[in-house]
């Protein structure tokens, strides 16, 4: 019979991983995933991870009105997912957080263009 931990024992962290997440971390992560669960918002973030854009360009690329794109961008900015800087009369949106860049790159590396899971890369 395998040697299993007692039911009330804390699980050991996975190798190379931090300890189990706190309630606050879980709540914040769930809020971030909920924010990115909107396909238009996720598309906006994907675009912004590949370059700096103004709202008009982003709206056109995603197929949204400027007002709708602006609302999505405001939510993403307030959550700290993207940043904005002024250039004259325009706001230019960027992603500066390397964690966001990694998250977006990894999810689209994980999903094939047809929406299925992409095969693992060769070792």
Q: What gap in Å lies between CA 117 and CA 112, rounded to an integer?
A: 6
Q: Per-residue pLDDT tens for 21-47? A: 999 999 999 999 999 999 999 999 999
Q: Per-residue pLDDT tens for 56-108? A: 999 999 999 999 999 999 999 999 999 999 999 999 999 999 999 999 999 99
In this prediction the pTM is 0.81
Q: What gap in Å lies between CA 94 and CA 42, rounded to an integer?
A: 14
Q: Which long-range contacts (CB under 8 A, 24 or more apart) does 102-110 make?
A: 104/45, 104/46, 104/49, 105/49, 108/46
Residue-range domains of the chain with CATH = 43-110 (1.10.10.10)
């Amino acid at each position: 019979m395998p040697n299993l931990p007692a039911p009330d024992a804390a699980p050991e962290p996975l190798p190379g991983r931090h300890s189990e997440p706190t309630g606050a971390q879980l709540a914040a992560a769930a809020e971030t995933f909920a924010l990115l669960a909107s396909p238009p918002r996720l598309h906006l973030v994907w675009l912004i991870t590949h370059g700096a854009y103004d709202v008009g360009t982003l709206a056109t690329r995603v197929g949204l009105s400027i007002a709708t794109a602006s609302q999505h961008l405001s939510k993403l900015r307030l959550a700290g997912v993207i940043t904005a800087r002024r250039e004259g009369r325009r706001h230019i949106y960027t992603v500066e957080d390397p964690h966001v860049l990694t998250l977006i790159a990894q999810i689209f590396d994980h999903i094939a263009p047809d929406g299925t899971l992409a095969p693992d890369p060769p070792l």
